[in-house]
Structure 1
């Protein structure tokens, strides 16, 4: 008989969760490159105070990583506090995603910029929400 302890599936994969913020960032970079370089879309949005801000690649990378690591923290917190972490994560993350769409829809400068910014939000959500749900403690 072996005395090797086996970690729970969540613990085993917890270190592997870094793949989701990184994959979301790569996906966002690809969408940004397609919009900016291939389609020549000028990605601009109104910032607070009415100033127009260019959405450059460093901003896309930084915000996506920030959102990805914050999402990881929410999943970890839910696992510690809730017996239904997977369900709560999916509901919370989906609601935050839907609310996040208000930003580009309302502040994007021009139809093509709005569409590209909405695609950025969508691709990040499509990586983070199911990715972290897959690793969250089952209900």
Structure 2
């Protein structure tokens, strides 16, 4: 099993594609291609929420990626205590669909408060058993 990996990103619009690139590289290193597009899209939504809604005092957000027992878990931590909620946007609303997308594409998601403040929003994906990890990948 690979060790979880994490990276800190500045709270800026450019951080969202950088977070996607980070996840794409981690999954390539782990030889995981199953559900790649779903994972990248969900990370985009969670990272965008961290950039847009975390508040002015939150200068960064963290992304952690882990894989255990056939489950890929992506976590986005920010310093805001505001809990994200699924919306029910009208067809004309330009925003409000992020968590609906995460709910539709992932096998689960949730929000947990962080001990030191802020929150972690996570999403999980079941990965097909035939996906193999690269030789020499370190255990947790």
Task: Give your verdict on TM over 0.5.
Answer: no
Answer 1 or 2: which has greater helix percent: 1
Please identify the structure whose Cα radius of gyration is greater: 1
Higher RCO structure, 1 or 2 (CA under 8 Å, sep 6+): 1
**Superposition TM-score, scaled by structure 1 size:** 0.33
Higher strand share: 2
Give TM-score scaled by structure 2 length: 0.32
